[in-house]
Structure 1
């Protein structure tokens, strides 16, 4: 029922504010938004009736337990996720609540284990990346396909996101230069592509191959013959900053957060922000299936995805247990919901057997441009 309490940690941050707004739009009337600075949540008061804004410190077990109390679902939009790990999930379980995490990957799920949630659902990686990057390709890819994914663009970077990127280095998160081929991860299979023109991107980009663990799971689940995953950058600013950070002593990586955020800002000079997620099934006939999503703000879009995951859990569309979002959310209904979201500039799905798009949703950008359509 819509009057069940949802406790949104980080509910007035970059991601959480969007998630809270979308939950209210879905008709949920009891939302508790929490964080360390409740004053920031006051901007939501005028938008969302009956919103409860509270202080919570995730490093204080008592404070976190109080925040989760009486909740039907706890939604975690706080970060950096690789320091939070399973802390909030365990507090949600202790309160008898469902749990949705906009981030959280293999380390968080491993730390939580599989026995904590038995009659409730816990869903990790319910954002854009990871999340949509493992979900939307399932709309067009099937067993035996060769798939290529491109994700990236020119967008701002929050300090929490920069911290997550710096900490997400190692086999738990993926492998640079690797590809999925014939049922296994093949190391050093790919090389960076410099100033390449990609169909869904408005300008040439550098495409850096990195195979995320989410994509490996998806490839194995679908039985793909090959999967290549590239992160697209408009300049060398962010890759260069990451190379310096990962070459340094891990103890000092936190010092590179500002370096990364500045690099992202430099990419935005002279550009309108844009973010692209595209997946294409490669076919020898030249008629390939594809899905492409365009947006201006990946953080807000992650909040919208997290809200959809929370709604799916509350409507009992997700079975009890611990899951990744791309494994349990329905790709088609998620895409249908996103095509109506004003944060999505365009969402196209092209079927190889059709001369026109199987499903196309498009909105004009501010300058009236129409990049991203087939």
Structure 2
């Protein structure tokens, strides 16, 4: 593997040279709200496919329609808002695909910046839920609760992401409640204070990183994704639990799966989200054998 340094702000020179000769460009750079569509445009101009590990809708909106129908653009392979803080990975046409390096840290500086910026209609709405075809504010946190797959008592704060809204609309669900789960109230309080303050959110990054680090000694780094679907007709609910000791590694694993599917021709041309373009059963089967996943149970 050859390491090439490039400035994502210099789309015409650095990024163009970076993407030249590639079959696919995997973008893990951040913070994603600053990178937006710059790397995607350079990749498409170089005739390469493009996969973005962040997957925020603002970047998709900035990119607009993909004119080259022969090329695919995938965004959002990660299942929760965790951002990789590595530079974009360049894959020459004659090199085998490589998985991004795994990191044990639960939250890096780039991840903190993206978390602080993750508000607004294209990101999500804190303390909201989906009910009867619309977003409803005023959802209350669940404090000190026991949840399957989470050690001890945790605090679950409602957060209705743009991805959750798309899922609710697509599946025509009556109600969707989504929560971000924390080991303590430290991180939610730091986020609330940053969002309430005036000025750029970047200046709150050190405080957010400090409280996130303070939560680690009690549990150690881990991430659990818990999904439950209750059918309209009488019947038992279905539950999926996915657990990892390194959420960034899980993001990297799904990004690597997306790259493989793009190169294998299993993803059609045009821009789209990984949630819509990858086969969910195939992704789950492959994640079950990935070292980043410590548990994957579907009931």
Same fold (TM over 0.5): yes
Change (3 A) 1:237 1:116: farther
1:163 counterpart = 2:163: no
Match of 1:237 in 2: 186
- Post-superposition offset of 1:220: 1.1
Superposition map of 1:356-371 within 5 A: none
1:228 counterpart = 2:177: yes
Match of 1:114 in 2: 65
> Per-residue CA shift, 1:21-42, capped at 9, x if unaligned?
xxxxxxxxxxxxxxxxxxxxxx
Give the secondary structure class of the aligned counterpart of 1:312. Answer: helix
Q: Separation in 2 of the partners of 1:117 and 1:179?
A: 38
The more displaced of 267-276 and 280-289 is 280-289
Select which of 151, 162, 177 maps to 1:213: 162
Select which of 183, 204, 220 maps to 2:153: 204
Q: Separation in 2 of the partners of 1:216 and 1:204?
A: 28
- Post-superposition offset of 1:115: 3.3
Q: Which runs of 5+ in 1 are unaligned?
A: 1-50, 132-153, 351-374
Q: Separation in 2 of the partners of 1:191 and 1:71?
A: 48
Match of 2:136 in 1: 186
The more displaced of 208-217 and 118-127 is 118-127
The more displaced of 112-121 and 258-267 is 112-121
- Post-superposition offset of 1:79: 0.5
Q: Which runs of 5+ in 2 are unaligned?
A: 83-103
Match of 1:173 in 2: 123
Q: Separation in 2 of the partners of 1:331 and 1:250?
A: 41
1:259 counterpart = 2:203: no
Q: Separation in 2 of the partners of 1:79 and 1:117?
A: 25
- Post-superposition offset of 1:184: 2.3
- Detail structure 1 runs of 4+ shifted over 4 Å in the superposition: 283-286
Superposition map of 1:321-340 within 5 A: 321-340=270-289
- Post-superposition offset of 1:285: 6.0
Q: Separation in 1 of the partners of 2:45 and 2:210?
A: 40
Q: TM-score, structure 2 length as denominator? A: 0.88
Match of 1:281 in 2: 229
Task: Give the total of aligned pairs.
Answer: 276
> Per-residue CA shift, 1:279-315, capped at 9, x if unaligned?
0123696732110001110011101110001111111
